[in-house]
């Protein structure tokens, strides 16, 4: 057994994210927790705890936790825009795992409608990364954090997912990338390994690892592993 600052690290089954395999996901996640404890405590652990977008939530997306660079003007826009958002379309515990893009009128379409509420008429300076960091805090099991690194890593898989979905849903013929769907497919293919990872984290004598096991979504664990890859 390896030990990191009081957290014993064993071995869990490999997980493949965006075409790259992490040989020991448990060690990779523990390393992330060690290097970014403030992000987990002040950003991840407040995800899903609020029914409204607030100044506190927006603050959590900024430095030193997530570096969203959301300005005061953009913060005011997010808070105002969120008041009329169709939150009821998507349950607070909705999971990306269940959002099959090839299924008409399913969770994917509902999640897209909520996303589009913020995407439409967004101010200059607000784009994919900022919206995803805010929506993750509201629906942490559903929305991936789409920063440049994750989108770049998932580029080929997102293009393949878009082609596959378009073959079954012609209305998506002009869609060139489907990153949500690519991440969802990794969630499905790594389902057993993610359960093992979560269980192993919960067994470690380390408070932050236990909290991560209990409260973080599989979606977020994949994000951490994408950074490790």
DSSP secondary structure, 78-136, as one string:
HHHHHTT--GGGS-TT--GGG--TTSTTSHHHHHHHHHHHHHTTPPTT--HHHHHHHHH
* 173-185 mean pLDDT: 98
What is the C-alpha separation between 75 and 54, in angstroms, rounded? Answer: 9
Q: Are 78 and 70 a contacting pair, CB within 8 Å?
A: yes
**What was the pLDDT predicted at 3?**
41
What is the three-class DSSP state of 20?
strand
Q: Are 156 and 20 a contacting pair, CB within 8 Å?
A: no
* 10-15 mean pLDDT: 96
Q: How confident is the model at residue 132 (pLDDT cuts 50, 70, 90)?
A: very high
Asked if residue 2 has pLDDT above 50, the reply is: no
Residue 52 DSSP symbol: S
Q: Are 29 and 15 a contacting pair, CB within 8 Å?
A: no
What whole-number percentage of the chain has pLDDT above 70?
Answer: 97
**What was the pLDDT predicted at 9?**
72
Question: pTM, whole model, 2 decimals?
Answer: 0.94
Q: How confident is the model at residue 228 (pLDDT cuts 50, 70, 90)?
A: confident
């Amino acid at each position: 057994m390896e030990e990191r600052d009081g957290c014993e690290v064993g071995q869990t089954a490999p997980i493949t994210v965006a075409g790259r395999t992490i040989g020991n996901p448990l060690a990779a996640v523990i390393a992330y927790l060690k290097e970014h404890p403030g992000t987990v405590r002040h950003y991840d652990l407040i995800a899903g705890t609020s029914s409204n977008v607030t100044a506190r939530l927006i603050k959590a997306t900024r430095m030193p936790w997530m570096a969203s660079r959301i300005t005061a003007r953009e913060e005011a826009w997010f808070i105002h825009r969120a008041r009329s958002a169709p939150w009821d379309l998507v349950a607070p515990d909705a999971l990306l795992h269940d959002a099959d893009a090839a299924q008409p009128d399913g969770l994917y379409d509902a999640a897209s409608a909520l996303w589009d509420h913020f995407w439409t008429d967004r101010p200059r300076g607000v784009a994919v990364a900022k919206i995803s960091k805010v929506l993750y805090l509201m629906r942490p099991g559903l929305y991936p954090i789409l920063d440049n690194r994750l989108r770049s890593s998932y580029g080929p898989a997102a293009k393949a997912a878009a082609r596959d979905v378009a073959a079954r849903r012609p209305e998506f013929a002009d869609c060139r990338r489907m990153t949500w769907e690519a991440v969802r497919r990794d969630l499905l293919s790594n389902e057993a390994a993610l359960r093992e990872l979560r269980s192993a984290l919960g067994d470690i004598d380390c408070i932050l690892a236990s909290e991560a096991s209990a409260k973080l979504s599989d979606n977020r664990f994949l994000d951490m592993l994408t950074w490790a890859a």
